Structure 1
Amino acid sequence: MTYIHTSSIGVHGKLTSSRCMIDGRFLLKITGFGLKCLNEAEIKNERPENDTLSPELLWMAPDPEHLRVYPASRQRSQAGDMYSFAVILYEICTRAEPFTEESWYTSTRDILERIKHGGIKPTRPTLNENEHCTEIVQLAHLCWNELPSDRPTFHTVRKVVKNIRMTRNNGASKNVLDVLLQRMEHYANNLEGMVEERTQAFLEEKKRSEELLYKVLPRSVADQLRMGRSVNPEAFECVTIYFSDIVGFTNIAAGSTPFQVVDLLNDLYTCFDAIIENYDVYKVETIGDAYMVASGLPERNGNEHVRQIALMSLEIVHSVCQFVIRHQPEVPLRARIGLHSGPVCAGVVGRKMPRYCLFGDTVNTASRMESSGEAMKIHISEATMGLLSSASFTIEERGMIEVKGKGRMRTYWLVNELDTQGK
């Protein structure tokens, strides 16, 4: 009832002992609430015919908006639920239906008329403290108070019942059923904490899984896949692609064990990964010693993509100069970098271990810029140079060169950023 009153349901409205169910674990469950449209339809049919009235009205509060206006209308309130709860407490104590044990009992209609009348001493079931649990009797009297505002809330009742239970259970019980009920009660009290703990663990594991997925695929693409949507290929008018590899990697690998090669690449790409976190770029993939990055996709950023890649490339060159190979500290590491800008098509390829791949001549040209470049230099195409010309970078012309599969092309060297040079 505490949950119902604090939820969007708000009120039960028809609480009686017949709507209190006991499950196989001796836990009480409440039913008969919600379904407002069905309840309203039932209320319309609740009209007294002859002298017959529903016995359920004995649990209805005598408030001005409840029993005293019935059958003209029937309202629901949390204070009315509290009155119904008090009648159920009477049933728990006496093991009898309300009012049936009274000496003046004649009919349901007579009882309801007495309750409606109210007065200085309102009609209530007889519940004496000397015959039943004193605390429960006092609680029932409080809950069926004539004034709705004087009745407690279920949150308050919950605390009172808990204190009563603790006071009366100080001694160890020797009754098997009592021990069973105490254990089931303990289980029920701990269940909420267990559910919350496991829910929190599930949410943390879900968060780790999502973070891992976001490292494999772009966030926007991963979110679509998580929702079960297909990711259609998308065309991008202009992006900038970065390729790099290690000069002399074959010779370094030849003098290293496989484990040392793995450690080398892991150290290097961990360094690169830390750098690209500071820029609006997306790491497409690594194949062996090749490292591929793009900007301008999957989230478009205007022409900012070329500047982001240029700044990232300059920082990577600087980091490679300071990089030390753990098992060959005397061997300098040198990288070759190539950049190109242009249109591409991007999409998710494969269902098992899906990859976000780029396709188009721009990818091939960027790869050629890298392979035809020189160690520790950033080789850029004329298209990339054109986009960078309005930015503050120092660019040197390399001239016309023969590029495999592309013929003769005019290319350039990206030297540094003017702001950095001024500092």
Structure 2
Amino acid sequence: MCIRVGSNNSQITTVLHGFILSTLSDFFPKIHEVTKCKCNRSCALSVHIDFVGLRAQRQLSGVEQVDLSPQSCDLGSIQNLNELKPGGFYDGLMLYTHALNETMSTSGTRPPGKDVTKRMWNRTFHGVTGLVHLDENGDRETDFALWDMIDTNTSAFQVNTHAGTHEQLTAVPGTDLHWLGGVRPPDVPVCGFKNDNPICLASQWSEPVHTTCWIFKLRLSLCCRRMKLEKELVAQLWRITWEDIQMSNLDKVLRSGSRMTLSLRGSNYGSLMTGDGNLQVFAKTGYYKGNITAIKYTNRKRIELNRKILFELKHMRDVQNEHLTRFIGACIDPPNICIITEYCPRGSLQDILENDSITLDWMFKYSLINDIVKGMLFLHNSVIFSHGKLKSSNCVVDNRFVLKITDYGLSSFRSESDTGKDAHAYYAQRLWMAPELLRMECPPPQGTQKGDVYSFGIILQEVALRRGAFYLEGDPLSPKEIVDRVILGEWPCLRPTMDPQSHSPELGQLMQRCWAEEPTERPEFNHIRLLLRKQNKESRTNILDNLLSRMEQYANNLEELVEERTQAYHEEKRKAEALLYQILPHSVAEQLKRGETVQAEAFDSVTIYFSDIVGFTAISAESTPLEVVTLLNDLYTCFDAIIDNFDVYKVETIGDAYMVVSGLPVRNGKLHGREIARMALALLDAVRTFKIRHRPEQQLKLRIGIHSGPVCAGVVGLKMPRYCLFGDTVNTSSRMESSGEALKIHVSAATRDVLLEFNCFQLELRGEIDVKGKGKMTTYWLLGESNSQ
């Protein structure tokens, strides 16, 4: 297609800018590849002077096809193009002569060249090359024709010879010009012909300015981040003062503390819970801001807060994951240097595995194992990088049965050595350590990632067999022997026993890969996660179903445990009540059980029995303390068995003194005198046949005193309460005992009056004696009881 353009030189330059080339000969200089030439020409537009009208001086009614040789690719051979050159020379000469004549006719003299040149401007005339027009700058405005290739095979062009000097682009009706990019170029380039447009000048500077601003913002961001980091380090948000922690008392710790089971003694090592003399160590707990927390003490006397420790503490606050115990803070107040973390009340994985009352199916086991893998995978990808002390006791379970890993990080904050630990406990904790770390004199406190994989393999064996860490079937070894053989690196390597009946073959292969001797042969935790996902098909079920199943299983175990504990509770309750009934009268104990206050009560008539051993001081001096205790225990055990046959209440024993009363707290009328008299005769008969263990040939001499009268009784004290008797009757009974004789029963006149009513006791008058604090008193000897009543 061809379009004539009537425009000035500026517009011609605009059209040429980026889209239109001056001539095809300039655009394709001597190209010899025909195919490449055709492809390039199809995208090109050619601009030429409109020589068609000059040559024929006629209007073209259609489109003239101009054929070019495809082998030449030289558009300069277009016919009659060179004929314009002499015509242009002629028109220029005519323009000059017209301007020279006009200038000379005006001035009359030979004009300067400058005046002749100005006469040529703003002039229009018809020359041999057509209409000639020069603008105010002396530039000729010429009509141009635009050529567009329509056939790349024949190199045919459409030519439009539309005439006219219109300062606009006019298309020939019925033709379509293929602009490059499909968009017509503007008359004036966006940036101007000299790139002096202020918008473009601003855009030229925008890129370096933007780059500079970006660099400045980046440096400013880094500075702000560094300042923020320094501010956080100085703020010490992790720091907790000891006064802010409310320690739990011992009872609360024993009831709610998480058990950290540890076997401290025993020659055979099958489990951390087996062996003689095991001790359960409870994790200390305390309350911080109203929440119960776990407190782990370090064996350091003081902490120097260097930059390394500050970064470790900050990293601990930043690390947050569902399967890691949350780090709450740390206390560095000597001597209470400790780490405060989230508290998990279900105890450690080791507690659960060693508790035979908890049934674990493989779905539950895989759930616990997957929790460990998720926690370690996050830990290995975090700034902490590795654990170093992974073991079953460092895996705790919260209320939602989610396993969380604890005791990670803070390698510089914790104890630097294991001094002060029992040798058995020291080696027991190293059963999870990788061989390459055991062989190091100073292994890194944070461990290695491959070492964590080895520890995970030992935990897998614990979960699968539930027989303790590093279980060896038929070969009971102590922890020290196991560690020494692992360090030695014997072949085949010493590893825990696997039971194909307890786990799948795939899980056994995973164990072997995890505890491989070469660290490079151990898999990464992301690979372990994929392997476990393939083995545990049930993990693909709904997470809620999995949780409900886990809860149902735990509920069943809990019901059995509750039933067992309920029976144990009732048994212990029965024992406690029996003990309480032995300490206090039954009626008084019932009032205390109901939470009632025991009021002091007055009794009009009771009979009190006092006795002691004559010569007990001499026997004690000639015996060891243990022999004295044995003597009193044997004697009073004999007495306690006898008094159960009578309606009496044992008040207390002080040394060799024995005090019994009848008629309280339950009144029995006047029977109290008869019950005490019969009891005294039975005790006296028992003493006559009683043998002292360390002195079987020596006769034990019992001295008894009895008195009847009114008393007041009540419970004294809240801790270790005692049922005590008050009144003159108690003092008189004591005087009857102290003024009596060995192997005799000394009774007062008041008791004699009570006994006479039964008409069955044999009494002998002793006469008047001087009783300390009482003066003259008539007393009697109780000799025995006759068959008649």
Runs of 5+ in structure 1 lacking a partner? 1-23, 26-171
- 1:249 partner amino acid: F
Partner of 1:20: none
Equivalent in the alignment of 1:406: 774
The superposition leaves residues 295-340 of structure 1 with CA deviations (integer Å, 9 ceiling, x where unpaired) of: 0000100111110000000000000000001011121101000000
The residue type equivalent to 1:219 in the other structure is H
Alignment of 1:215-230 (within 5 A): 215-230=582-597
Pair 1:174 & 2:542 matched? no
Does the residue aligned with 1:229 lie in a helix, a strand or coil?
A: coil
- Name stretches of at least 5 consecutive residues in structure 2 with no aligned partner: 1-399, 402-534
Cα deviation for residue 194 of structure 1 reads 1.7
Query: Is this contact kept in 2: 1:402–1:409, CA < 8 A?
Result: yes
- Equivalent residue for 2:566? 199
Cα deviation per residue 1:208-241 (whole Å; 9 max; x = unaligned)?
A: 1111111111111122122222111100000000
Asked if residue 297 in structure 1 is aligned to residue 660 in structure 2, the reply is no
State the partner residue of 1:143: none
Mapped partners of 2:707, 2:617: distance in 1: 26
**TM-score, reference length from structure 2:** 0.31
Residue identity in the other structure for 2:537: K
Match of 1:327 in 2: 694
Tell me, yes or no, if the aligned pair for 1:373 and 1:379 is still in contact at 8 Å.
yes
Give the aligned partner of residue 733 of structure 2.
366
Deviations 1:59-103 (A, max 9, x none): xxxxxxxxxxxxxxxxxxxxxxxxxxxxxxxxxxxxxxxxxxxxx
The residue type equivalent to 1:403 in the other structure is V
2:598 alignment partner AA: V
Secondary structure in structure 1 of the residue aligned to 2:692: coil
TM-score by length of 1: 0.57
**SS of equivalent to 2:574:** helix
Using the TM superposition, give the Cα deviation of residue 419 of structure 1 relative to its aligned residue in structure 2, in angstroms.
Answer: 1.6
Query: How far apart are 1:182 and its partner, in Å?
Result: 4.6
Mean CA deviation greater in 207-216 or 316-325: 207-216
1:130 alignment partner in structure 2: none
Higher relative contact order structure (alpha carbons within 8 Å, sequence separation ≥ 6): 1
- C-alpha RMSD of matched pairs (Å): 2.1
Q: 1:347 aligns with which of 700, 714, 738?
A: 714
Matched, 1:277 2:640: no
Larger helix share, 1 or 2: 1
Look up the equivalent residue of 1:351 and give its one-letter code: L
Aligned partners of 1:376 and 1:231: how far apart in 2?
38
Partner amino acid, structure 1, of 2:576: S
CA contact (8 A) 1:247 1:335 kept: yes
SS of 2:646's equivalent in the other structure is: coil
Secondary structure at the counterpart of residue 339 of structure 1 = strand
Q: Matches of 2:560 and 2:538 in 1, distance apart?
A: 28
Q: Which secondary structure does the structure 2 equivalent of 1:419 belong to?
A: coil
Q: Quote how far apart the aligned CAs of 1:259 are.
A: 0.8
The total of aligned residue pairs comes to 253
Q: What pairs with 1:243-258 in structure 2 (closer than 5 Å)?
A: 243-258=610-625
Helix, strand or coil: the match of 1:236?
strand
- Whole-angstrom CA distance in 2 between matches of 1:300 and 1:201: 36
| Cα separation, 2, equivalents of 1:266 and 1:304 | 29
CA-to-partner distance for each residue in 1:192-221, whole Å, 9 max, x for gaps?
Answer: 222111111112112211111111111111
Q: Cα offset for 1:246?
A: 0.1
Letter in 1 for 2:566: T
In 2, Cα distance between equivalents of 1:240 and 1:173? 79
Which amino acid is the alignment partner of residue 625 of structure 2? P
Aligned residue type for 1:368:
R
**Which stretch of structure 1 is more off in the superposition, 223-232 or 398-407?**
223-232
Q: Secondary structure at the match of 1:175?
A: helix
Structure 2 counterpart of 1:418: 786
1:238 alignment partner AA: S
Q: Which has the larger radius of gyration?
A: 2
Distance apart, 1:353 and its partner CA: 1.4
In structure 1, the residue matched to 2:685 is: 318
What is the Cα deviation at residue 175 of structure 1? 1.6
Shift of 1:186: 2.9
> Does the 8 Å CA contact 1:173/1:179 hold for their aligned counterparts?
no
Match for residue 236 of structure 1 among 603, 606, 617 = 603
Question: What is the CA distance between 1:174 and its match in structure 2?
Answer: 3.4
Q: Which of 620, 627, 631 is the equivalent residue of 1:260?
A: 627
Any idea what SS the aligned residue of 1:299 has? coil
Q: How does 1:136-215 map to 2 (within 5 A)?
A: 174-176=537-539, 177=541, 182-215=549-582
Measured after TM superposition, the shift of residue 405 of structure 1 is 0.7
Aligned AA (1:174) = K
Question: For the residues of structure 2 that align with 1:209 and 1:217, how far apart are their CA atoms?
Answer: 12
Matched, 1:397 2:765: yes
Deviations 1:27-84 (A, max 9, x none): xxxxxxxxxxxxxxxxxxxxxxxxxxxxxxxxxxxxxxxxxxxxxxxxxxxxxxxxxx
What is the 5 A alignment of 1:49-128?
none
Measured against aligned partners, the alpha-carbon deviations of 1:128-172 in whole angstroms (never above 9, x if no partner) come to: xxxxxxxxxxxxxxxxxxxxxxxxxxxxxxxxxxxxxxxxxxxx9
Give, in whole Å, the separation in 2 of the partners of 1:361 and 1:182: 72
> Which amino acid in structure 1 is aligned with residue 756 of structure 2?
S
In the alignment, the residues of structure 2 paired with residue 285 and residue 205 of structure 1 have an alpha-carbon distance, to the nearest angstrom, of: 25
Aligned partner of 2:526 in structure 1 is none
- CA displacement at 1:187 relative to structure 2: 2.6
